[in-house]
A and B are shown apart, each in its own frame.
Chain A
Amino acid sequence: MIDDSQRDGVPPGGEQGETAATPRRDAGAAGHSAARRTVLMVGAAGVAAAVTIRPAFAQTAASVFNCEIPVPDPANSGRYIALNGTLVPAGTRGAFPGAARAFKGEEVRQALQGRSLPGTSYEQGQAYLNYIRRLRAGQSGFTCYASIQMPR
Chain B
Amino acid sequence: MKAMAHLVAALRDPASVAGLSGPQWSALMSVARGEVLLGTLAHRVADQPLPGSVAAELRAALASANQAQIHALWEAEMCHRALSPLGITPVLLKGTAYAAAGLPNAAGRQIGDLDILVPRDRLDEAEAALISAGWEWVKDDPYDQAYYREHMHELPPLIHKTRDRMIDVHHTILPLTAKPRPDVAAMLADAVALLGDAYPPSRLREGSGVGLNGERTRLVFGSFPPLTPPAGGRGTLQILCPTDMVCHAAAHLFADGDMAGGLRNLWDIHSLLSEFSGGKDDDGFWQDLQSRAQQHQLWPAVHRAIRLSHSLFATNIPSAMAGRVRHDKYYRIRMLARDDWGRESHRLIRLIFYIRSHLIRMPLPMLLRHLWTKWRR
Check whether chain A touches chain B (CB < 8 angstroms): yes
Residues of A that sit less than 8 Å from B by CB: 52, 54-55, 75-79, 86-87, 136-139
Q: Taking the complex as formed, is B162 at the interface, i.e. its CB lies under 8 A from any CB of chain A?
A: yes
Interface of A is mostly: loop
User: What is the minimal beta-carbon distance from A133 to any residue of chain B, in angstroms?
Assistant: 13
A76–B373 Cα distance when bound, in Å, is 11
A75-B374, A75-B377 are known contacts. Are A138 and B138 too (CB-CB below 8 A)? yes
Contact assessment for B377 and A136 in the assembled complex, using a CB-CB cutoff below 8 Å: no
Contact assessment for B141 and A76 in the assembled complex, using a CB-CB cutoff below 8 Å: yes
Interface of B is mostly: loop
- On chain B, the residues within 8 Å of A136 by CB distance are 136, 138, 159
Contact with A along B291-322 (1 / 0, CB 8 A): 00000000000000000000000000000000
- On chain A, the residues within 8 Å of B144 by CB distance are 75
| Across the A-B interface, the 4 shortest Cβ-Cβ residue pairs | A136-B138, A138-B138, A78-B377, A136-B159
A139–B157 Cα distance when bound, in Å, is 11
Contact assessment for B374 and A137 in the assembled complex, using a CB-CB cutoff below 8 Å: no
A99–B355 Cα distance when bound, in Å, is 31
Instruction: List CB contacts (< 8 Å) of B176-221 with chain A.
Output: none
User: What is the minimal beta-carbon distance from B159 to any residue of chain A, in angstroms?
Assistant: 5
Closest to A52 in B: B162
Instruction: List CB contacts (< 8 Å) of B105-163 with chain A.
Output: 136, 138-141, 144, 157, 159, 162
Interface size on B, residues (CB 8 A): 14
User: What is the minimal beta-carbon distance from B280 to any residue of chain A, in angstroms?
Assistant: 42
Contact with A along B219-242 (1 / 0, CB 8 A): 000000000000000000000000
Contact assessment for B141 and A138 in the assembled complex, using a CB-CB cutoff below 8 Å: no
A2–B377 Cα distance when bound, in Å, is 60
Contacts A55-B164, A86-B140 known; list 10 others, CB within 8 Å.
Answer: A75-B141, A75-B374, A75-B377, A78-B376, A79-B141, A136-B159, A137-B138, A137-B166, A138-B157, A138-B159
- On chain B, the residues within 8 Å of A78 by CB distance are 376-377
A52-B162, A54-B164, A138-B166 are known contacts. Are A76 and B138 too (CB-CB below 8 A)? no
Closest to B71 in A: A55
A52-B162, A54-B164 are known contacts. Are A139 and B374 too (CB-CB below 8 A)? no
A25–B374 Cα distance when bound, in Å, is 63
A75–B138 Cα distance when bound, in Å, is 13
A137–B165 Cα distance when bound, in Å, is 8
Contact assessment for A79 and B159 in the assembled complex, using a CB-CB cutoff below 8 Å: no
A76-B141, A87-B141 are known contacts. Are A137 and B377 too (CB-CB below 8 A)? no
A54–B376 Cα distance when bound, in Å, is 37
- On chain B, the residues within 8 Å of A54 by CB distance are 162, 164
Contact assessment for B159 and A77 in the assembled complex, using a CB-CB cutoff below 8 Å: no
- On chain A, the residues within 8 Å of B138 by CB distance are 136-139
- On chain B, the residues within 8 Å of A52 by CB distance are 162
